[in-house]
Structure 1
């Protein structure tokens, strides 16, 4: 047999193993509310090739490829346990098992590692939580996709309604089409149908009522069967407590803003300060996409090295608040053509750091340039550290943070030497450390952080909503602190 034949046979064998994993993963998700991950990447509803690619990803981080032959025994062990709602990372299970020298069987080790999600310790499955989207623009539609994707078990977040202003004839048909097809993020994964008579969109079996209103005061959500809902405001029209309080109508219990909050509205970056949300807090903000991109790595660097001061320069994709061609705009530079120019503009991300990281004493400044790409941005974080470090030390530290720390869902890490912005479309992390671009000299470190300012940010919004709704399930094995 030739080398080529041997390689192809090996690939087919792995395909067969990955294929056998799919029904186990699906059953765990549907029947027990268990999400199976590999290095923080979900395997739920993934194809054979996607499962193999997800395993291969470990190669560029940990130095060697993770094989499905390694993870399948752990998956089978999980299927035999009395599991409750949870997220379980096969990559972490395999890695921690390799490092364990007690000689335990895979079954015994797995049972011990996920003991917090089994038997008397397991969380009981709830009825789910209603969610309402107020506004249906770029972020609103991506959040909708994520909510529909995560509704498989029927016991988590349930998208019940979308509130928009009427756009005229066939409004609901046009909005459903925008949900179905996206020029950047591709086709919706599933089926979408519309019932114009009842003003309802059906997406993968989810009945989503489209409510037409010009102001929050016009809506009684209980009239649509919505109760105790979390409303996600995607419009950004109201940013302070007084304005956002207008959403606290019958049927709505909490309001989450997908823009930086003003005044005393808490700005939450999941993974960093989401555990500071008070149980009775009804109004909160998910800050901005850039704040979510820079705060997790900033916290990681401050925890290990200390940060004396810093500056963030964001090179940001253009957005809908800019003009396609030169025209009047309340902001002078943003009135110039977005697809034809680099546009210097302001960013509030640096000042927002203080809200998310109140213990950080370092002064952080910031500025931004909008550039002619439709999605994915990069933040260049220039830090003066409290102690000297080497490039290799910081490189290895950030790689480990992305794999095993509590920030592993927020911070990703890539070593590909030819990485460019379009490679990160669809990334579910808040930011991705570009290892090749990292610069460290003495007490100065410069981090290049890619981020999908649409989809990655939307994933952070969903994580915050899951947390405040009580359906953010624990992850096993527990990340290193």
Structure 2
């Protein structure tokens, strides 16, 4: 047998193992509301090849490839336990088991590591929480995709309605088509049908009522059987408490804004300050995509090294706010053609840091350049640290933060030497540290942070909504603080 034959046989064996994992992962998700993760990446509804690629990705950040032969025993051990709703990272189980010297079996170690999700300690499955989307643009449709994806267990969040202004003929058909096909993020994973007579879009069995209204005051959500819902405002039309309060209509309990809030509206970056949300707070903001990209790594660096001052320069993809061709615009420069120019503009991300990290005393400044790409941006975070360090130390630290810390869902890490913006379309992290571009000299560190300003941000929005709705389930093994 040749070396090539050996490689092919090994691949086929791993394919077979990954194939055997799929029904286990699906059953845990549907029957117990358990999401199986691998280095914080969900394996639910993933293909054989996707599972194998996710295992291989560990090589970039952990230094060596993680094999399905290592993780399968932990997955099998989970099926023997009386698990409650939770997220369980089998990569973390495998790696912490590797360093454990007590001689425990895989089954014994797994039972101990996820004990908080079993027996009397487990969380009971909750009734679904109604969600309404107000606006159905770029972020609205991606949030809809995520809500539909996460409805597979029948618990958690349930997208009940979308509120939009009435368009022309076949309005609902066109909106369904935009949900079905996306030029950047690809095809919707599943089936979509339209019930025009009842003004509904049915996506993977989820009946979504399309409500036409020109103003929040026109809608009584209880008329559609919606109660205690979380409304996600994707329009950005109202940014302060007074304006967003218009959404607090019958059937709506809380309002979440997908843009920076003004005045006393809390700006929340999940992973950093979501635990400061007061239980009775009805209005909050998820800040901006750039704020979500820079605040988690800024917090990580401040916690370890201290930060005296900093500047963030974002090279940002163009957005719907800009013109395709030169035309009148209220803002300076944004009237010039977005696909043909680099456009210098302002960013509120730097000033928003103070809301998310009130204990950070460092002055952070910022500016932005819009560039002719439709998605994925990069933030260049230039920091003066409180102590000197080295490039190797910073990279080792950030790699570990991305793998095992409470920020592992916010911060990703790549050492790929040829990485470019397209590689990060669909990333579910708030930002990705580019190891190859990182520069450190003495007390100065420059981090290059990629982020999918559409999809990665939408994932952060969903995490905030899960938290305020009470369906954000704990992760095991617990992240290292």
Deviations 1:237-286 (A, max 9, x none): 00000000000000000000000000000000000000000000000000
Question: After superposition, what is the alpha-carbon deviation per residue over 1:270-324, rounded to whole angstroms, capped at 9, x for unaligned?
Answer: 0000000000000000000000000000000000000000000000000000000
Could you report, residue by residue, the CA deviation over 1:419-457 in whole angstroms, capped at 9, with x for unpaired residues? 000000000000000000000000000000000000000
Q: Deviations over 1:193-228 (max 9, x none)?
A: 000000000000000000000000000000001000
**Distance (whole Å) between structure 2 residues aligned to residue 458 and residue 91 of structure 1:** 25
Q: Which residue of 2 aligns with 1:36?
A: 36
State the distance in 2 between where 1:80 and 1:51 align. 22
Q: How many pairs does the alignment contain? A: 481
What's the TM-score, normalizing by structure 1? Answer: 1.00
For residues 428 and 66 of structure 2, the distance between their equivalents in structure 1, rounded to whole angstroms, comes to 20
Cα separation, 1, equivalents of 2:324 and 2:353: 31
What is the match of residue 197 of structure 1? 197
Structure 1: 5+ residue stretches without partners: none
Give the secondary structure class of the aligned counterpart of 1:308.
Answer: strand
The separation in 2 between residues aligned to 1:418 and 1:19, in whole angstroms, is 31
Aligned to 1:347: 347
1:79 partnered with 2:82: no
Give how far 1:387 is off. 0.1
What's the CA shift string for 1:26-57, capped at 9, x where partnerless? Answer: 00000000000000000000000000000001
Structure 2: runs of 5 or more not aligned = none
CA separation in 2, counterparts of 1:336 and 1:453?
21
Match of 1:464 in 2: 464
Query: Residue in 2 aligned with 1:389?
Result: 389
**Superposition misfits of 4+ residues, deviation over 2 angstroms:** none
Which SS does the other structure have where 2:151 is aligned?
coil
Separation of aligned partners in 1, 2:365 and 2:215: 36
Following the alignment from structure 2 to structure 1, what is the Cα–Cα distance between the partners of residues 383 and 127?
A: 46
**Alpha-carbon shift at residue 332 of structure 1 (Å):** 2.2
SS at match of 2:84: coil
CA RMSD of aligned residues (A): 0.3
2:211 is the alignment partner of 1:208: no
Deviations 1:344-377 (A, max 9, x none): 0000000000000000000000000000000000
User: 1: CA distance between counterparts of 2:126 and 2:408?
Assistant: 27
Q: What SS is found at the alignment partner of 1:382?
A: strand
**Structure 1 counterpart SS, 2:20:** helix
Tell me the SS of whatever aligns to 2:64.
coil
SS where residue 9 of structure 2 aligns?
Answer: helix
1:168 deviation in Å? 1.7
Give secondary structure in 1 for the equivalent of 2:88: strand
Separation in 2 of the partners of 1:228 and 1:93?
A: 37
Q: Secondary structure at the match of 1:386?
A: strand
Q: Provide the secondary structure at the position in 2 that maps to 1:316.
A: strand
Q: Tell me the equivalent position of 2:453.
A: 453
**Whole-Å separation in 2 of the counterparts to 1:61 and 1:134:** 38
Aligned partners of 1:172, 1:53: CA distance in 2, in Å?
A: 37
Residue-by-residue CA offset, 1:7-40 (whole Å, 9 max, x unaligned): 0000000000000000000000000000000000
1:414 equivalenced with 2:429 (yes/no):
no
Give the Cα separation in 2 of the matches to 1:120 and 1:52: 35
Name the CA distance, whole Å, in 1 between partners of 2:196 and 2:93: 48
Whole-angstrom distance in 1 between the partners of 2:475 and 2:332: 47
Q: Distance between the aligned counterparts of 1:57 and 1:473, measured in 2?
A: 25
SS in 1 for 2:387: coil
**Other structure's SS at 2:176 match:** helix
TM-score norm. by structure 2 comes to 1.00
